[in-house]
Amino acid sequence: MPGASKFERLACASNDWIQVMVEGQPVKVRPGDSAAAALLAAGQSAARTSAVSGDPRAPYCLMGICFECLLEIDGVPNVQGCMVQVADGMNIRRQQGAPVLNDSLAAGVPA
Amino acid sequence: MSAHDVDLAIIGAGPAGMAAAATAAQLGLKTVLLDEQKGPGGQIYRSITQPAPADENILGKDYYHGRSLALALKNTSLDYRPGTSVWALDQDLTLSLSGNGQSQRIRPRRLLIATGAQERPVPFPGWTLPGVMTCGAAQILLKSSALVPTQPLILAGSGPLLLLIAAQLHRAGVAIEAILDTTPPRHYLAALKYLPGALRNLPLLAKGAGLLAELRRAGIRRITGVSELRALAGPDGTLGQVRFRQGKKAQTLSATTLLVHQGVVPNVQLSRSLNLSHDWDQLQQCWRPHTDSWGESSLPGLFVAGDGAGIAGALAAEAFGKLAALQIARQLNVISAQQRDQQSQRARRTLNQQRAIRPFLDALYSPAREFLLPADETLVCRCEEVTAGELRRLARDGCPGPNQAKAFCRAGMGPCQGRMCGLTVSQLMADERQVPNSEIGYYQIRSPIKPLRLGELADSAH
Ligand SMILES: Cc1cc2nc3c(=O)[nH]c(=O)nc-3n(C[C@H](O)[C@H](O)[C@H](O)COP(=O)(O)OP(=O)(O)OC[C@H]3O[C@@H](n4cnc5c(N)ncnc54)[C@H](O)[C@@H]3O)c2cc1C
Ligand code: FES
């Protein structure tokens, strides 16, 4: 769901900007942003869909607890977007469909 | 790579970990400080070496106090490794780490877990809708990215951090539609008996009163005695409205962002993975690893300090981190017991003073029952979409505890490994079965406690 961002950028202490791709669109972000923050700044309200019902889910905690921010980053699925800092040219996509928690994400599946 | 000649490994570079690291390194201990974040600061001082907002009034001077702690790290021989996650611990204190796509194991002589707190998950109907996030999440966007939510914005919940973040957003020029205060009115009376302890920390009481006054002066509507909170979807499937009750009156407000908060609870993922002994804290309604007054846990040589050992705030965390480092230096025969006691006097005083106000705050801001024992329709386990009603039914049908429930309904089996539902599942089952929380227990946590690429797992096998 692209659209007007629900988040606005205040005046920043430094004037560094880099460019990333969010859902195929170029977006200017700050080097201190996480991929999840970049997603929100780009106007995407949901990061992924629930693996069970398919309902949209969005970053909830931004500190690595909830796993609602799972994204596909540079082609790698199931990356915790709030724990990854942006890098110039990074390709950020929403996690499409049910996250496959096998070979790409070893944690989270208690034996 | 395997064993290292390390005296002390510290997990977490928040106030507790930073203070411990600086103290230990100054005493000549060979110290490693690990944190999964890209910079020091932990939660309260997140991004302190590069805060995003230009205007320092927004976050306030308590935030910028963190600069001195981060600076102190620089002037030591400390081995500080940002961007490093600890994903497993062994009984012999061996840590498995991963950073920059590589895994490594180190076995220090002493280990300090300073992994802090997480916000208490706030389950209520609609809390999984995009547009609902925690107050802490909004604060992280503010500190690290200078991003603020646009209107209409509603904050809902209870506790000092709710008021602080409301004030910070207001200072940032953000219009707040309303603050829905869910503190049950009877808590004010319940907290009164702890007031004498609170009076030992007048500066903090004054700060709280100051925040309330600031919000009042700003003309922000604060609706008290709120109950039956629920978030409703708009036409696009994201948050559209917030519904609640004040007294007998039901109200609905439009919102695109709802920030929720019900206090913070220790992050017990690592301490649980080692089966350390944990105590149920009735006043704080959470588990905390059992420690002695220096932070040593039930496993000798393993220390826990800061909010991860029980919520007491940033100044307490800083003091506790220092105390743990001094005791570790004592155990490693770097200082005498007398030197330890001398050097710990100020930190001990600070810790006691900061802790003295907790019972008052904890009684006042204890979450309302509806957030501890949510309504049947509420999703408790967000990952596997298990409702409170389902968990109640399992308990009624004789399911003895969270680990068995996991097998029946998959609650706690999703990617968050029970971080979001663990407390609620235990509490629901304890309530339904009418047994104490301490008896019901908690999920068995298994490593890896952090996501790992399979390649990294393979690395660590060598
Ligand atoms: C989101 C949030 C915002 C908060 N904001 C404030 C505030 O503005 N004011 C206030 O007074 N209090 C705030 N608090 C309360 C806060 O808990 C304490 O004040 C303080 O941060 C506790 O310090 P600490 O050193 O114990 O832990 P923390 O500051 O939480 O630091 C813990 C560190 O451990 C790291 N860590 C955790 N697990 C691992 C792992 N497995 N591997 C590697 N590193 C790991 C984390 O990245 C983090 O940096 C906040 C709490 C939260 C959760
Ligand atoms: S937003 Fe919660 S884990 Fe990333």
pLDDT digits (tens, 9 = 90+) for A71-81: 999 999 999 99
Share in percent of chain A as helix, strand, coil (round to 5) = 10, 30, 60
Q: Give the least confident one: B2-6, B45-49, B78-82, B283-287.
A: B2-6
B83-111 pLDDT, tens digit per residue, is 999 999 999 999 999 998 889 999 999 99
B190-238 pLDDT, tens digit per residue, is 999 999 999 999 999 999 999 999 999 999 999 999 999 999 999 999 9
Distance CA B1, CA B298 (A): 29
Q: Is the pLDDT of residue B27 over 60?
A: yes
Q: How many CB atoms lie within 10 A of CB B343?
A: 18
Q: Is the pLDDT of residue B455 over 80?
A: no
Helix pair angle (B160-171, B135-145), 10° resolution: 40
Q: Is the pLDDT of residue B459 over 90?
A: no
Q: Is the pLDDT of residue B50 over 70?
A: yes
List all residues whose CB is within 6 A of at least one atom of ligand 1: A 63; B 11-17, 34-37, 42-44, 85-86, 114-119, 136, 139, 161, 164, 264, 270, 306-308, 313-314, 317, 450
Nearest Cα of chain B lies from the Cα of A99 at a distance, in angstroms, of: 9
Picking from A9, A65, A101, A104 by the largest number of B CB atoms within 10 A of its own CB, the best residue to mutate is A65
**Nearest residue in A to B451, CA atom:** A107
Distance CA B17, CA B28 (A): 16
Q: How confident is the model at residue B390 (pLDDT cuts 50, 70, 90)?
A: very high
Q: Is the pLDDT of residue B76 over 60?
A: yes
Distance CA B353, CA B201 (A): 6
Burial A44-55 (b: 16+ CB within 10 A, else e): bbbbbbbbbeeb
Residue A80: list chain B partners with CB under 8 A: 451
**Nearest residue in A to B457, CA atom:** A106
Residue range B124-132: average pLDDT? 97
Return the bridge partners of B50, or none.
none
B417-429 pLDDT, tens digit per residue, is 999 999 999 999 9
Per-residue confidence (pLDDT) for residue A4, from 0 to 100: 67
Of B61, B64, B69, B51, the C-alpha closest to B14 is B69
Per-residue confidence (pLDDT) for residue B112, from 0 to 100: 98
Per-residue confidence (pLDDT) for residue A109, from 0 to 100: 32
Q: Is the pLDDT of residue A110 over 50?
A: no
Structure tokens at B35: 């944190």
Pick from A13, A99, A108: CB nearest B52: A13
Pick from B58, B118, B128: CB nearest A65: B118
- Classify residue B350 as exposed, middle or buried by CB count within 10 Å of its CB (0-12, 13-18, 19+): middle
What is the average pLDDT score of chain B? 95
Collapse the DSSP code of A92 into the 3-class scheme (helix H, G, I; strand E, B; otherwise coil) and give the result.
strand
Per-residue confidence (pLDDT) for residue B191, from 0 to 100: 96
A100 ligand 2 Cβ < 6 A: no
Evaluate whether B264 touches B118 at the Cβ level (below 8 Å).
yes
Q: Answer whether A59 sits within 8 Å of B133, measured CB to CB.
A: yes
- What pTM value is reported for the model? 0.96
A5-14 pLDDT, tens digit per residue, is 789 999 999 9
Per-residue confidence (pLDDT) for residue A111, from 0 to 100: 27
Distance CA B120, CA B124 (A): 13
What separation in Å is there between the alpha carbon of A69 and the centre of ligand 1? Answer: 19
Q: Which ligand neighbours the alpha carbon of A39 most closely? A: 2
Evaluate whether A8 touches B148 at the Cβ level (below 8 Å).
yes
Looking at residue A34, the DSSP 8-state letter turns out to be: B
Handedness of CA B255, B425, B289, B29 (dihedral sign): negative
Per-residue confidence (pLDDT) for residue B75, from 0 to 100: 77
Residues across chain B = 462
Q: Answer whether A46 sits within 8 Å of B130, measured CB to CB.
A: yes
Provide the residue type at B115 as one letter. Answer: T
Collapse the DSSP code of A85 into the 3-class scheme (helix H, G, I; strand E, B; otherwise coil) and give the result.
strand
Q: Is the pLDDT of residue B2 over 90?
A: no
Q: How confident is the model at residue A98 (pLDDT cuts 50, 70, 90)?
A: low
Q: How many CB atoms lie within 10 A of CB B336?
A: 11
B167-192 pLDDT, tens digit per residue, is 999 999 999 999 999 999 999 999 99
State which H helix or E strand residue A72 sits in.
Answer: strand A70-73
Residue range B37-57: average pLDDT? 98
Nearest Cα of chain B lies from the Cα of A22 at a distance, in angstroms, of: 16
Q: How confident is the model at residue B260 (pLDDT cuts 50, 70, 90)?
A: very high
Pick from A80, A85, A104: CB nearest B38: A85
Q: Answer whether A13 sits within 8 Å of B141, measured CB to CB.
A: no
A14-72 pLDDT, tens digit per residue, is 999 999 999 999 999 999 999 999 999 999 988 899 889 999 999 999 999 999 999 99
Q: Which residue segments constitute the domains of chain A, with CATH numbers given?
A: 18-97 (3.10.20.440)
Per-residue confidence (pLDDT) for residue A5, from 0 to 100: 74
Q: How many CB atoms lie within 10 A of CB B51?
A: 25
Instruction: Tally A–B CB contacts below 8 A.
Output: 184
Nearest Cα of chain B lies from the Cα of A38 at a distance, in angstroms, of: 9
Q: Which residue segments constitute the domains of chain B, with CATH numbers given?
A: 8-118+265-361 (3.50.50.60), 123-261 (3.50.50.60), 373-440 (1.10.10.1100)
Q: Is the pLDDT of residue B330 over 60?
A: yes
Distance CA B129, CA B260 (A): 12
Per-residue confidence (pLDDT) for residue A107, from 0 to 100: 39
What separation in Å is there between the alpha carbon of B34 and the centre of ligand 2? Answer: 20
Q: Is the pLDDT of residue B458 over 80?
A: no
Query: What percent of chain B has pLDDT above 90?
Result: 94
